[in-house]
Structure 1
Amino acid sequence: MTTDPFETALVTAALSLAAEKGWGQFGVQDAARAADLSETEARRRFSCKTGIALALGRMADDAALTDEAGYGSTRERLFDLLMRRLDVFQAHRPGVRALLKAMPFDPPMVLALGAATLQSMRQIAQAAGINASGLTGMARASALTAIWTATFHTWEKDDSPDMGRTMAALDQALDKAGRWGLFTSSNTAQDEDTGLPDLPDDTLADTNWPSGTTA
């Protein structure tokens, strides 16, 4: 995965504007002007600000997946990958929080981000060594999305500079997921034969981006 410099600059400018004015108080062209980018190119790439929010997710994926998380247990790799992803949101915290406040008023953006997050979690799972293919893989990706969402809820309220509460919440969620078999290696016969047990509805959390409170 390769970070697009144009997208990065536009997203950064948009989140700065969101922190200053609120997510609903500027447009794609405003962000392009603030970043000293071509407004024509910005309009071509992004028909609306939902595209900017999706680009933020791609930036987070790039940060998580640029280097292989090849050391430690599956659980340790997942922790590292998800924290790398969170680091991107932390770097733009005021703007991301402004985006989250606006989400309840934009259901199409919520749906788009929910679908994108599920795909991101499939990639994270694969990078950690978890089989995310087929129906069993989709169940694992959904469980990992729930972990991300629960952790993101905590991050939104965690004002500590070291994200201590957030890391603790992620630890607890991964412990719970481990008891349900999420960390089965993609290379084991057991994974091929048995798959992941069904998770109770309240085992972790909702699997979509939170409305008004995951990126």
Structure 2
Amino acid sequence: MSQFQPKTSPILEALSDAALAVCATTPWSEVSLIALCKEAKINLADCADAAVQKATIAAYLDQGLDRHMLKNASELMLDHKVADGLFDCFMARFDGMEIQRSAWVSILKADALDPAASFARATRRARTSAWALEALGVDTTMMWAWFGVLDLARRLKKMETLWLDDGPDLSKTMAGLDQSLKESERWASHVAGLGAYFKRQHLNR
């Protein structure tokens, strides 16, 4: 959570736009903060004052994808099956990535090779998964819900790998996501059963 910044940040907005523009043609691993500042016409000192680093920009870009996902999910009916709703949520996120495909391919590939960036992205996948569940009316504040959150985050990572090699129609991503969410639904049902069992055991003490 320490990577979160105020959602209205002119510096981050400008640097994020610069990041998408620059890494569309340059590997994200080779893009420096000063290069982004030059692209965005922002002084590096302003980044220091705002405690903005390259990792902060990466987190903000992901936050923008989450916002895109949730805006599209706002039309979902809460009586939808969770698996169907999650499919729509995650595909809305991939659609957002598709708009800046070259940039996101560069970012995801670079993150996979950097242990620190990879760990940070794993944390943000959990945040994305929690927001997707909340959009469907699923309370993620309970301990048992976080098993589902972490499971979805793991599956989202696999879907990102599929997306990297997918075509414009995203057929591989959609098929893989549909299958993975069906498996997740069965897994969640099993976990829910275990949760109910342990709750009964606790009440019977």
After TM superposition, is the score higher than 0.5? yes
> C-alpha distance in 1, partners of 2:154/2:75?
21
Partner of 2:170: 163
Match of 1:142 among 147, 150, 162: 150
> C-alpha distance in 1, partners of 2:113/2:196?
44
Please say if 1:125 is aligned against 2:133.
yes
> C-alpha distance in 1, partners of 2:27/2:100?
14
Q: Give how far 1:133 is off.
A: 2.2
> C-alpha distance in 2, partners of 1:118/1:127?
14
Match of 2:30 among 25, 30, 38: 25
What TM-score do you get using the length of structure 1 for normalisation? 0.75
What TM-score do you get using the length of structure 2 for normalisation? 0.78
Match of 1:95 among 103, 114, 130: 103
Q: Is the 8 A contact 1:46 1:52 kept in 2?
A: no
Please say if 1:82 is aligned against 2:90.
yes
SS at 1:21 equivalent? coil
SS at 1:181 equivalent? helix
> C-alpha distance in 2, partners of 1:153/1:103?
12
Match of 1:51 among 46, 53, 56: 56
% identical aligned pairs? 24
Instruction: Note the 1:94-113 alignment, pairs <5 A.
Output: 94-113=102-121
Q: Number of residue pairs matched?
A: 190
Partner of 1:210: none
Match of 2:14 among 5, 9, 24: 9
Any gaps of 5 or more consecutive residues in structure 1? Answer: 196-215
The Cα RMSD (Å) is: 2.9
> C-alpha distance in 1, partners of 2:92/2:9?
18
Larger radius of gyration: 2
Q: Is the 8 A contact 1:11 1:55 kept in 2?
A: yes
Deviations 1:99-141 (A, max 9, x none): 2232244222221221122122112112122232222111010
Letter in 1 for 2:66: D
Deviations 1:68-110 (A, max 9, x none): 2532322221111111111222122112222223224422222
Please say if 1:173 is aligned against 2:196.
no
SS at 1:174 equivalent? helix
SS at 2:23 equivalent? helix
Please say if 1:70 is aligned against 2:76.
yes
Any gaps of 5 or more consecutive residues in structure 2? Answer: 1-5, 199-205
Q: Give how far 1:4 is off.
A: 4.8
Worse-superposed segment, 22-31 or 54-63 = 22-31
Q: Is the 8 A contact 2:125 2:157 kept in 1?
A: no
> C-alpha distance in 2, partners of 1:173/1:182?
14
Please say if 1:61 is aligned against 2:45.
no
Please say if 1:41 is aligned against 2:40.
no
Q: Is the 8 A contact 1:69 1:128 kept in 2?
A: no
Q: Give how far 1:161 is off.
A: 1.5
Q: Is the 8 A contact 1:50 1:109 kept in 2?
A: yes
